[in-house]
Amino acid sequence: MSESGSCDAVVLLSGGLDSSTALAWAVRKMGWRCATLAFDYGQRHRIELDASARVAAAFGIVQHCVLRVDLAAIGGSALTSEQAVPKDHQDKSSIPATYVPARNLIFLSMAAAFAEAQRATRLVIGANIVDYSGYPDCRPEFFASFAKTIKLGTKAGVEGLDLCIETPLIHLKKSEIIALGLELGLDYALTHSCYDPSADGRACGHCDSCLYRKQGFAELGREDPLPYTI
Amino acid sequence: MSESGSCDAVVLLSGGLDSSTALAWAVRKMGWRCATLAFDYGQRHRIELDASARVAAAFGIVQHCVLRVDLAAIGGSALTSEQAVPKDHQDKSSIPATYVPARNLIFLSMAAAFAEAQRATRLVIGANIVDYSGYPDCRPEFFASFAKTIKLGTKAGVEGLDLCIETPLIHLKKSEIIALGLELGLDYALTHSCYDPSADGRACGHCDSCLYRKQGFAELGREDPLPYTI
């Protein structure tokens, strides 16, 4: 752990396409010294924690921290229980089965605590409302309200050190996100997106996350470097 | 884990004097079916987790859940690190060394997720601003802002199921809290308050938490049933 005030920004890094692009943006476009946070939250597969570490290493992040938080004990989601992950439909009208109750709220709260301990002033999250309009905790009004809450509820906030929530991808289409990452030299072979990978780590190609990813690369006319089971 | 919608309220229960009184209020005064949540957050001593389980059992709570969350990895507090716990001064002017960055925010976020999975509509926390005026995450304006944030950021909130944050002790003096608990039949021998207990579990009598507790019982002219090292 580095000294207090040693990073400008804390980046939530799941190792997925969006969070990895958000890190590329923070490091290479904004020039911020970043610490990265991944969460070991009882997800059904651990492949994303490996992807997160790979991406952090590729960007030379010296402070990559994995925090344990027991969301599986809370339940209520296909991502942390035995519920089936839905396949082959992109349901934008309702909240998906892969919604984890209050997940971004919990992750942001822990990231805010980490940022406070580090005296960082920015918190970067690769949230996006274009593809994932069904997730309430990806909406700009949620992030704005959260920022007010931490201003009121943290020592740093009360002392005048504002923590700005940065959501660089919030209004981008998946193809625009990929274009941004490629422009910034992000190797998408390092990332991982699938909700339901095979035992050998290949993406299923059928869950929402795979469908959006494949569609994004297709729209851009670029090849997705990830191996798929199909 | 009981069925969805099987409890009215989720109560944060550390096993301390305040949270135990808040549970007594929710169960015996309000008549709510309660689930209780304790957090295994890397605190230096585990005695409070035992106290929490004892108090839940005394109130017949069938759904007492301990969630693991790794606050020690975040650092920044005397309660989760090797920093010394301050003794023999009740500092009301600044934020104490026992402040854990964004702790209530993290606990409330996880409790909100748990409440959402259970379809509970109330979240009870024994926060208090009279004795602990230095903690920003114990203030009414923080709780009000948090309630707005979860309304915006959760599926339950978006679907119209409001989660009300109940802070029954917020304006009470310690002696009034104790009087309320005694009136409701809470046995304070089951609770635990000390920030820095001895190896055999006795309270130090000198940390902020012990000082406020002793003062509360003294003002009320009642005997504190806890054993102290001094």
pLDDT average per 10 residues of sequence, chain A (230 residues): 68 96 98 96 81 96 91 69 62 62 90 90 93 80 95 86 94 96 97 85 87 94 89
Which chain B positions have a beta carbon within 8 Å of A139's beta carbon? 152-153
- Answer whether B99 sits within 8 Å of A149, measured CB to CB: no
Q: What is the pLDDT of residue B3?
A: 42
Please tell me which of A88-92, A128-132, B74-78, B124-128 the model is most confident about, judged by mean pLDDT: B124-128
Average pLDDT of span B216-221: 96
Buried/exposed B149-186: b ≥16 CB within 10 Å, e otherwise = bbbbbbbbbbeeeebebbbbbbebbbbbbbbbbbebeb
Q: How many other CB atoms are found less than 10 A from the CB of residue B50?
A: 15
pLDDT band at B56 (very low <50, low <70, confident <90, very high): very high
Question: Which ipTM was obtained for this model?
Answer: 0.84
Distances (CA, A) of B199 to A16, B51, B79, B208: 45, 15, 16, 19
User: Which among B67, B106, B157 is the nearest to A113, CB-wise?
Assistant: B106
- Answer whether B105 sits within 8 Å of A152, measured CB to CB: no
Nearest chain B alpha carbon to A99: B155
Better pLDDT: A101 or B49: B49
Q: What is the pLDDT of residue A160?
A: 85
Q: Long-range pairs for B44-49 at CB < 8 Å and ≥24 separation?
A: B44/B79, B44/B80, B44/B196, B45/B196, B45/B197, B47/B192, B47/B194, B47/B197, B47/B201, B48/B14, B48/B15, B48/B16, B48/B192, B49/B15
Q: What is the pLDDT of residue B130?
A: 82
CATH 3.40.50.620 matches B9-220: yes
User: Which ranges in chain A belong to alpha helices (H)?
Assistant: 17-24, 47-58, 103-118, 140-153, 155-158, 174-183, 208-220
Q: What is the pLDDT of residue B149?
A: 95
Q: How far is A46 from chain B (nearest CA, A)?
A: 18
Distances (CA, A) of B73 to B98, B120, B180: 16, 30, 37
Tell the residue number behind the tokens 């339901």, with chain if given.
A196
How many CA atoms does the CB half-sphere of A32 hold within 13 Å?
21
Interface test with B, best of A63, A132, A146, A151 (most B CBs within 10 A): A146
What is the sign, positive or negative, of the torsion defined by CA atoms of A70, A73, A75, A81? positive
**Residue A133 burial (10 A CB sphere; 0-12, 13-18, 19+):** middle
Q: What percent of chain B has pLDDT over 90?
A: 56
Better pLDDT: B19 or B76: B19
**Residue B81 burial (10 A CB sphere; 0-12, 13-18, 19+):** middle
- Are the C-beta atoms of B67 and B39 separated by less than 8 Å? yes
**Residue A89 dihedral angles phi and psi, to the nearest 5°:** -150, 135
The token pair that represents A35 in the structure block: 């610490």
pLDDT digits (tens, 9 = 90+) for B136-178: 888 999 999 999 999 998 888 888 888 999 999 999 999 999 9
Q: Mapping DSSP to helix (H, G, I), strand (E, B) and coil, where does residue B38 land?
A: strand
Which chain A positions have a beta carbon within 8 Å of B69's beta carbon? 68-70, 110
- Are the C-beta atoms of A118 and A10 separated by less than 8 Å? yes
User: Which among B74, B104, B153 is the nearest to A137, CB-wise?
Assistant: B153
Q: Which of A50-64, A170-184, B32-46, B115-129 has the lowest mean pLDDT?
A: B32-46
**What is the length of chain A?**
230
- Are the C-beta atoms of A36 and A25 separated by less than 8 Å? no
Q: Is the pLDDT score of B87 beyond 90?
A: no
Q: What is the pLDDT of residue B135?
A: 82
Beta-strand ranges (E) seen in A31-140 are 34-40, 64-68, 122-124
- Answer whether B74 sits within 8 Å of A139, measured CB to CB: no
Angle at B45 between CA B43 and CA B50, to 5 degrees: 105
- Answer whether A142 sits within 8 Å of B153, measured CB to CB: yes
Q: What is the pLDDT of residue A84?
A: 64
The token pair that represents B158 in the structure block: 């978006």
- Using beta carbons and an 8 Å cutoff, which residues of B are at the interface with A? 1, 65, 67-71, 73-76, 95, 99-106, 109-110, 112-114, 116-117, 136-137, 139, 141-142, 145-146, 148-150, 152-158
Q: Is the pLDDT score of B76 beyond 70?
A: no
pLDDT band at B44 (very low <50, low <70, confident <90, very high): low
- Answer whether A113 sits within 8 Å of B103, measured CB to CB: yes
Nearest chain A alpha carbon to B112: A102
pLDDT band at B108 (very low <50, low <70, confident <90, very high): very high
- Using beta carbons and an 8 Å cutoff, which residues of A are at the interface with B? 1, 65, 67-71, 73-76, 95, 99-106, 109-110, 112-114, 116-117, 136-137, 139, 141-142, 145-146, 148-150, 152-158
Q: Is the pLDDT score of B77 beyond 70?
A: no
The token pair that represents A118 in the structure block: 């580090």
Q: How far is B226 from chain A (nearest CA, A)?
A: 32
- Answer whether B112 sits within 8 Å of A99, measured CB to CB: no
pLDDT band at B5 (very low <50, low <70, confident <90, very high): low
pLDDT digits (tens, 9 = 90+) for B171-211: 999 999 999 999 999 999 999 988 888 888 889 888 888 99
